[in-house]
Each structure stands twice: as structure tokens, then as C-alpha cells.
Structure 1
Amino acid sequence: MSTQLGGQPVYILREGSSRNHGRDAQSMNITAAKAVANAVRTTLGPKGMDKMLVDSMGDVVITNDGFTILSEMDIEHPAAKMMVEIAKTQDTEVGDGTTTAVVIAGELLKRSEELIELGIHPTIIVQGYRMASEKAQEILKGLAISMKPSDIEILKKIAETAMAGKGVESAKLMLCDLVSKAVTSVSEPDGTVDIDNIKVEKRVGGSIEDSDIVMGIVLEKERVHPGMPTKVTEAKILLLNVGVEYKKTEVDAEITITSPGQMQAFINEEEQMVKKIADSIIKTGANVVISQKAIDDNAQHYLSKAGILAIRRVKGSDMDKLALATGATVISSIDAISAKELGYAGIVQERKVLGDDLIFIEKCKNPKAVSIIIRGGTEHVIAEYGRAIEDGIRVVSTVLKDKKFVAGGGSPEIELSLRLRQYGASVGGRAQLAIDAFAASLEIIPRTIAENAGLDPIDMIVALRAAHEKGEKTAGLDVFQGKPLDMLKEGVIEPLRVKTQAIVSATEAAGMILRIDDVIKSAKSAAPAMPPGGMGEMGGMGM
């Protein structure tokens, strides 16, 4: 990049830097963003297709989850990276609707390109899009339906809609039941849900129908001693964040032993210390001990003789979940061990699942942490099932908090499109063109759902518009029957926040990309060239 000063060029950027500005910069950015939207567009809807992603190491991911696809793709273009950020925000906020958000953003940019060709300034387009987005939020709130957290059937339908098209159709009713049970178990009275308290364990083998929920925690551990029981009923559980072992002094000291008798006395004293700790554990009445630290051999012997099942070196995150599930207190000092700190579980059992030893802590009274075990034939299949379950968990937790949902199947987008066109007519001026473009962009969702199901998109959009013009606000596309139906009656529903967040994120990303009129790329710094003879020919440093 250079400019002229008195006939002499003045260089501003490093040699090799590049610059695109004006229409070229806008076109380049819009093209990159549209390419990202097109990459995930075919995955949308209950009949969406999957993508196979192969990384540089040859690892394979097969999925139709928009966020997973964009995360795994090695995207370099800065405008395309903004589209990935939309998916990331959508996934963080609501856990579903990532593809919807990216596809809407891509369509907004496509329509804006047509408006720019007509001579409308990008600032006017961005302003019109923002006005349309705010009006869309208002309309969506009017379309939303309130629910009670106790309405389990609605929660199941929300989970079913989120998991549609992710390969779990054969067991969707069972999985929706598992998801709703898990989320309601760990939810607080105000509806907030910490989804970290739902542990998802994936195990290859069996089929998706073999998946189950454990009202407690599953640990990838085994008993520390073969003499311990494999099953304990009416378990009284002691959680320790301290080792059951000889405690070394904090001060460095040297002990001189001059006879075998002294050595034996020293060993006996160590054993007595460990026995004292074991006795204090036994005295509490605990029959299950779970430690985050070590349990030494002598302690294992004493605990085993007392019929106690002990597990060691459990992760800190699992210890927190165990405390929530069983009601136990995690004890950090041997001196603090007492019966009142114990937790409860109906059964603690060591089981083999496809050759792996697992400890099941289940039938807890009021667990605030639970586990879902997912089964499947291969690692790739089970990974996709896991993503489907996690989407279900996220959307159910979202609707529990907000207590608002809307019809799915493209129904809100068609209603918004009609209402925004009416709003645009009332605004007038050049902003109306941007609002109309926004309204038309929203129709990309039902259009794409139709295309991915092998239906004629034009016929479907016309039929949906006709239904909504008659006042059927919840009419959406049933891809299985190939016609508009009442999505509420069909049980196709989504959390309100999935739609509002998707529209807000798409509008912000499209606006940011449209406002860019200059792309300046710095030259990559190259390593200094080595002379042919290496270091020896660089010459000495002059003295």
C-alpha cells in the first residue's frame, strides 16, 4: 500500500501486504460467510444429512451438529471465522439452533448483496436489519407459550425436537424420558440447571436402546482390594479429600536406626497410625469409602476386614458430583471424620460393562447430580448419540429456566416473515427494503427443511404462507407427510430463546461483516535467509 507525495511513492505497509477495499472487500467477505452457511445448510431439519470430517491425523467425526462441524473445520478466512463465532455463542447460550443461526446470517448477507447492487448503502441495510431484528424479538414474545416446570410431557417434546435428525429416532421416546428426568432431578427451585451435574458416560457395545439413567454417579474405578464386597445396599458413604495412609511429617528429619528391633518398632508405629485412621472410619458406621487421594495397603486390609467397599484416586469433579448426589460432605481432615458427614445411596456396586470395571452409586434419595449411560455399536455412532443427548439436556434446561416455548418446523419464521413485511410497509423509505430482505431471509429455514426432506421448497413455502395468512400461527412443515400441520398438536416445539438468540446473533454478525469496507492483510514475516555457506560465511563482527 502506497501513496504519492511530490511525485515520490510513500510506502505505508510492509512489502507483500495486501489490501481489498470498497465493493471488493464486501464481496469477498460475504462470499466467505455464505460458503460457511452453505457448508452446514444441508444438515438442518429432521431429515438433514451428516458430514464426515477428517482431521490431519486421520481422526474421523461424523455428525450433523452445526457447532461440531464448524469447530472441526480448519477455517482461516476472518469473515468465515465470524460465522463460527455465531455458532459458538448459540451453543453456549442455548445448546441448539446453531445451524439455524448460521444459515440465517448467510441468507441476510446474500440478500444484502442484492441491495448493495441496487445502490443502497450498507449502513442503511444494517440499520434496517437491526430494526427488523428488534421487531422480530417483540413478535416472538407474543407468539411464545408459557409452561410450568412440572409439565414433563412438554419437556420431553422439547428434547425430542432438539434430537430430531441425529440418528436416535429408534429410541427417541426413551432418550427424551432420560433427558427430562436428568434435568428435572438436578434443577433448582428457581429453574436454574447446572448441566455439569449431569454426567454423560459413553460405552461402546449394545444398542442405543440399552442406554439408561443412574440416579447417582458412575465412576470409572474399581474396588481397591479384592476382599471387599462388590455390592453394598443401604450404603453409608464417606467422602475423603485426604489420604488413608501414614502421614509424613512436614519437617525434614533424619532417623538413625541402629538395630533390627528399632526398625520393627518404626514399622509397627506406622501400622498403628494407619490402623487408628481405619478405626476412626469404621467407627462412623460407613460401609463405603471414596477417597480423592491414596488408600495404602494396610488401610485396605483393615477396611476390607470390616466389610467396607473402598475406592481411591477419584477426580475432584466427580467428588463434587458425589457430594451432590449422596448428600455427603467431602472431608479434608482425618480428625473431622464423623457419622454426621456421611451420605446415602440405595446401592453401591461394582459392575463389568464390556470388560471395564465401573462403580455405580445409585438409588440416591434426592440426587442433585445424575449420570446417563449411552450405549451404541461404534465409537462414531456413540459420539453422535452423545451430542444429541447433550443438545437435549441443554434445551430442556433452557426452557426450564425461561418457561417459554414456541412452535417449531419453520412455523415462527413464516409468521415473522409475514409480520415483518407489514412492519416494513409502515416504516417506508430505503429501510423498508432492508426489512423486507430480512423477512425474506427468515424463510430460508422452512425452505431448507423442505429441500433436505426432498420436498419442493416453493410449493411448501406457498402452502405455509397461505396457512399463516388464514391465521394459523403455529402451522409448520411436517416433512414426513409433506404438508403444513399445526406444530403444537404435532409436539414439535422449541425454547423461545433458541429462536431469539439465533436471530440476534445472525443480525449482529451480518451487520459487522457488512460494515467492513477495507481488508488489510499484513505480510507474513519470513525467517532471515541463511547465506549459502551457513554461519561461517556471514563474516566476523568487526572489531
Structure 2
Amino acid sequence: MASRTQPLYVLSEDSERTRGRAAQESNVAAGKAVAEAVRTTLGPRGMDKMLVDSTGTVVVTNDGATILDEMDIDHPAAQMIVEVAESQEESVGDGTTTAAVLLGELLSRAEGMLEDDLHPTVIVEGYAEAVRLAGEAIDGQLLDVEVGSDPAADLLASVAESSMTGKGTGDAAAADLAALVVEAIGRVTTDDGDVDRDAVHVHPRTGAGSSATELVDGVVIEEEPVHDGMPHEVENASVTVLETKLEVRQGDVDAEYSITSVDGLNAAIEAEDAELRGYADALSEAGVDVLFCRKKIDDRVAGYLADAGILAFESVKSSDATDVARVTGAKRLGTLEDVEASDLGHAESIAVEVDGDDDDLVSVRGGDASRAVTLLVYGSTEHVVDELERAVNDAVDAVVAARDAGTVPGAGATEVAIAAHLRGAAASVEGRKQLAIEAFADAVDALPRTLAENAGADPIDTLVDLRATHDRDGRAGVIADGRTARVGDPLEEGIVDPAAVKREAVDSATEAARMILRIDDVIFAE
């Protein structure tokens, strides 16, 4: 008697599975939808998004990384676009919207090829070849300027301004802020030409317009003195950073003491008080003017420190303590025993100020040991200053990237050059990969087309003009002019971008697109 084969169930009954074209269509549609959400923010005339979370917190921004991070995205393929933006932000600090829009366009072009029965593997291989060709085009657009020269300084200022324009700064404010950003980078550049990005801090403050933004030679932290009687400003300050509590020491073993007389109680109190006074005496004898303590300071110790004229702060964050130590050269001490003058740092001035939110800010200026600087960014409201903070941070990252890897024309000119190079090279590629390379060029073309559309110009006419001008002059970009846009030379307008931002956007967007296109089976397990 023949045996009957029983069906084999690998997945649980609650699992959901989408295969083949249905899976590809779902992933492509999700990726395109997320890219569309940030498309209108691209460029100097891009619009802002208002994001409201479940608690009612409002964020107003056109920063691609912030928008995608705040969006509640569940679809796994769409989540990859968020990861692309995060990778772009971590690597070069700018270009997140460009990467997201490019990824969406690559998926959109792939969708058409899939409908024409082009195999996903062919598309993936064609996209990989297109990335290599795009790298060649970017290299061909690099501006030949020697780092450290006056033209290079002007280019860096243009990079910073281009990065910030349209991000809530206003065109005029962007130019002023760009100059401060370049100056800040210059102050943290070593004699060997290396830039310490971590030494540039951006601190937001409300209560004034962006024109009040200033560059502080040092760091600014949010702390308040532990005692009202302490000085609020110390010139030529000796500084120490302490990692231990300034309280009565506790024994390691639980013990009880029996005090049977007033004299015994007084003796115990005096001993405890002497211990606490000893902390202040040790710091005063060592010549300490300002103390940054990572732990708690007893109220009585605070009083003794105030009597000694020492400005002290308690429960200082580790990152702030690190910044203070780096700026002043102070050693981070684990104990007060044998503290010496060589352990102390120095600052030209340390002052406690009250910002627009009635919070105390401590500025540590003119430290001997570090070139750390802080950009105090002002804005009229909390929402405005938050967006300015993001814009200035992007500008700092963009300038650092430009110094490290060079600059290319902005305003979409580099993208036009990439698309032209891809179309020229595609003719020599055999097989169906040629179609994928041409589709990649169309996807890249969508970036300057979007710039034109967001600036109020006709995207098709502008793209035609861009191609014609590029073929004739070798360089053509979308120049925002009033309420519309025109085609022109971005270098004449001072619009330049870091080459690293272009490379990273192309690489990360293509890598994510290739991964999504190779998926033909989606399994949701409960």
C-alpha cells in the first residue's frame, strides 16, 4: 500500500509571506513613498516639514536626517532609507536629502525595468557599474585649489554657505554664519593641517536673532554654581576636574557608634566638619580658582569653597568634564590627595551667564591646552534655534569634508556631469546592463530637476537647458533667483559642495537600492 506524503509546514500559521513581483513592488513602493516625503525640502528653496509626535512635541525642519528620524516608519524596506540618511549624516554630516531622493529615484527607475522583464540581477550589476562611472565623473569635477590658500578659504566659506542656505538661516544670515564656521575650523586645525571635528561645539541659545551668533574660544556648558556666594566670573583661572564626591567619607563596613555625652557629640561634629573643611583647604592651598566636580558636593563644603573664593560646579556630565579638561589642560583627578599645581589647568576667563531661558551657562574661554571652540548660535524661538543648530552643524561637517576630499560645483552641476558621463559610457557597455546605467543617469537627473521645481522653475525646460549648457560650457547648475530659477555657472555664484558628500550619497543610495532590488521574498513572523 503506497504511503501518503504529508505536507511540510515550515512557517507558523500566523506568519505572512509576500513573494516574487509582489514583494519587489511592495518594497519599491515603500522606498519611493519615503523619498517623496523629503523631496520638497531639497535645495535653497526647499520647504520645511512640521513633525508632531505622540506627546505633542513639535519639530520644524527641512533637514532630511531629522525628518526621517522623526517619522514613525514600520516598513522594513522604507527603514533602509532611514538607515541611508543616518549613514550619510554620520559619514559626512550633509547630503541626507540628496541620498534619500536618489534612492527613491533609483527604485522608481528599476520599477520600470522590472515591468519590462529585466532581471533584478542585471539591474543590480548595472547600478554597480554606474557607481564606478559616477565616481569618475565626480573626480573630473574636482576644483583644483590648494588647501591653505586664499581661494581655498573662499571656497570653504562658499561650502558652508551652500550647506546652510535654505535651512532656516536666510540668505544674508547664511553668509555671516559661514564666515564664523570657517573661522572655527581654522582655530581647531593643527599645524599639520588636520582638523579636530570634535573640538568644534555648537550651542543653541534663544532670545536674539541669528546675527548675534558668536564664536567663543573655548567651551560652553550648562551648569550653575553650587553656592550663591561664589564668584560668577574668574579671570586667569586655575582649574581642576575632580572625579570624587566631596562629602563625609562612608566606611565600607556597617558600624554603629554610641555617643553618650554632649562632648562626644560635639567632637564627632567637629571631626566631620574638619574633614569637610579640609577639602576646601586642600583646593585653596593648591591654588584652585575653579572646580568642576563630577560627583556631589556637600552643602557645607560648598560654603567653605565660597568662603575661599572658589567657583565650583557639581554633578558635571562626563562629556563636559572631558571638554573642560581638553581646553584647560587640567588632569581629571580621582582624589584630592597630593594635588599639585601641575595637575591644574588654565583658562583666561570662566564666567557664569544667564541665557534667555533663565538657565546658567558657564563659558570657559582661552584655555592653554586646546584649540576647542564653541559657536553660540542664537535664534528668536526654540524652533528657530533648533533648526539653526542643525544647519550650523551640517555646515561644520561640510567644511571638514571639503578640506579632506576637495570640492565640486554645486547647484546640481555635478549631478548633471554625472548623468552626462553615464550616458556617454553606457554606449560601450555590452548587454542589458546598458539599460540600467542609462536608468541610473535618469535617476541622477532627477536631483537638479527637483532643485528647479522647488525653486519655482519648469523642471523639464530647466533640465533641457542644463544639458545644453553643460555640453557647451562644461558646467551648468540651477541658480535660485528670486522666486524662480535660471541656469548658470555655480562657481560664479559661489555655490560649491564637498566632493565627499556627492560620493557618499551616490554610494549609500545605490547600495541600499541594490539590496532592496535583490529581495524577492518578504516573511513577517508573528
TM-score over 0.5 for the alignment?
A: yes
Change (3 A) 1:38 1:249: same
The alpha carbon displacement at 1:190 in A equals: 5.6
Partner of residue 298 from structure 1, selected from 293, 297, 300: 300
Deviation at 1:139, TM superposition (A): 2.4
Q: Hey, what does 2:78 align to over in structure 1?
A: 80
Give the distance between the partners of 2:426 and 2:24, measured in 1 at CA.
25
Shift of 1:244: 3.0
Aligned to 1:477: 478
The structural deviation recorded for 1:405 is 1.4
Distance across 1 between alignment mates of 2:54 and 2:480: 37
The CA distance in 2 between the partners of 1:124 and 1:134, in whole Å, is 16
Residues 1:501 and 2:504 are matched in the alignment: yes
SS of alignment partner, residue 479 of structure 1: strand
Contact 2:133 2:421 in 1 (8 A): no
- Retained in 2: the 8 A contact 1:215–1:367? no
Shift of 1:9: 5.7
Distance 2:53 2:195 in 1: 34
Q: How far did residue 65 of structure 1 move?
A: 0.8
The residue correspondences of 1:253-272 to structure 2 (distance < 5 A) are: 253-272=255-274
Deviations 1:76-132 (A, max 9, x none): 112111121111111111111111111111111111222222232111111111001
State whether residues 204 and 375 of structure 1, in contact with CA within 8 Å, keep that contact through their aligned partners in structure 2: yes
Q: Aligned runs of 1:89-488 on 2, under 5 Å? A: 89-145=87-143, 147-148=146-147, 151-169=152-170, 170-188=172-190, 193=195, 195-354=197-356, 355-365=358-368, 367-400=370-403, 402-473=404-475, 475-480=476-481, 482-488=485-491
Deviates most, 143-152 or 457-466 = 143-152
Cα-to-partner distance string for 1:474-512 (whole Å, 9 max, x where unaligned): x21111162222222322111111111111111111111
Q: Which runs of 5+ in 1 are unaligned?
A: 525-543
Identify the residue that residue 529 of structure 1 maps to in structure 2: none
**CA-CA distance at 1:285 after TM superposition:** 2.0
Shift of 1:422: 1.1
With structure 1 as the length reference, what TM-score do the two structures score? 0.90
- Specify whether residues 123 and 285 from structure 1 end up closer, same or farther in structure 2 by C-alpha distance, changes over 3 A only: same
Cα distance in structure 2, aligned partners of 1:126 and 1:156: 38
SS across alignment from 1:395:
helix
Q: Quick one: which amino acid aligns to residue 501 of structure 2?
A: V
Q: 1:224 to 1:13 in 2, by over 3 A?
A: closer
Q: Which residue of 1 aligns with 2:68?
A: 70
Where does residue 537 of structure 1 map in the other structure? none
SS of alignment partner, residue 491 of structure 2: helix
Indicate if the aligned counterparts of 2:206 and 2:355 stay in contact, CA closer than 8 A: no
Question: Which has the higher Rg, Structure 1 or Structure 2?
Answer: 1
The answer (yes or no) to whether the contact 1:326–1:367 under 8 Å persists in 2 is yes
Per-residue deviation, 1:189: 5.2
Give CA-to-partner distance per residue, 1:385-405, whole Å, 9 cap, x none.
Answer: 1111121122222223x2411
CA contact (8 A) 1:284 1:337 kept: yes
In the alignment, is the contact (CA less than 8 A) between 1:66 and 1:99 conserved in 2? yes
Q: Is the 8 A contact 1:19 1:520 kept in 2?
A: yes
Structure 2 match to 1:538: none
Match of 2:27 among 29, 33, 39: 29
Q: Who is 1:531 aligned against?
A: none
Partner of 1:14: 12
My pick for the range that moved more, 303-312 or 99-108, is 303-312
Taking the aligned partners of 1:69 and 1:102, their CA distance within structure 2 comes to: 11
- Residues 422-447 of structure 1: per-residue CA shift (max 9 Å, x gap): 11111132111111111111101100
TM-score, with structure 2 as normaliser:
0.92
Report the Cα distance in structure 2 between the residues aligned to 1:198 and 1:56, rounded to whole angstroms: 33
- How many residue pairs match? The answer is 517
CA distance in 1, matches of 2:367, 2:15: 64
In structure 2, the CA distance between the partners of 1:244 and 1:413, relative to structure 1 (3 Å rule), is: same
Query: Is the partner of 1:56 in helix, strand or coil?
Result: coil
AA of the residue aligned to 1:363: G
1:306-334 deviation line (CA, Å, top 9, x unaligned): 32222222111100000111121121111
Contact kept in structure 1, 2:201 and 2:219, CA below 8 Å:
yes
Distance 1:334 1:35, change over 3 A: same
Shift of the 364–8 alpha-carbon distance from structure 1 to 2, 3 Å rule, reads closer
Aligned equivalents of 1:17, 1:314: Cα separation in 2: 50
Contact preservation (8 Å) 1:19, 1:521? yes
Q: Which residue of 2 aligns with 1:47?
A: 45
Where does structure 2 lack aligned partners over 5 or more consecutive residues?
Answer: none
Report how far residue 219 of structure 1 moved.
2.5
Partner in structure 1 of residue 513 of structure 2? 510
Alpha-carbon distance, 1:70 to partner: 1.1
Task: Output the CA distance in 1 between the equivalents of 2:275 and 2:120.
Answer: 77
CA distance in 1, matches of 2:369, 2:157: 21
Q: 1:521 aligns with which of 506, 517, 524?
A: 524
Q: Is the Cα–Cα contact under 8 Å of residues 185 and 367 in structure 1 kept in the other structure?
A: no
SS at match of 1:75: coil
Q: Percent identity among equivalent residues?
A: 45
Residue type matched to 1:163 in 2? M
State the secondary structure of the residue aligned to 2:407. Answer: strand
Distance 1:260 1:426 in 2: 101
Aligned partner of 2:492 in structure 1 is: 489
1:307 & 1:374 partners in 2: Cα distance?
32
Do 1:149 and 1:403's aligned partners in 2 also have CA atoms closer than 8 Å? Answer: no
On the 8 A contact 1:125/1:431 being kept in 2, the answer is: yes
Q: Is the 8 A contact 1:148 1:403 kept in 2?
A: no
SS of residue matched to 1:328: coil
Distance of 1:274 and 1:326 partners within structure 2? 27
Partners of 2:405 and 2:500 within 8 A in 1: no
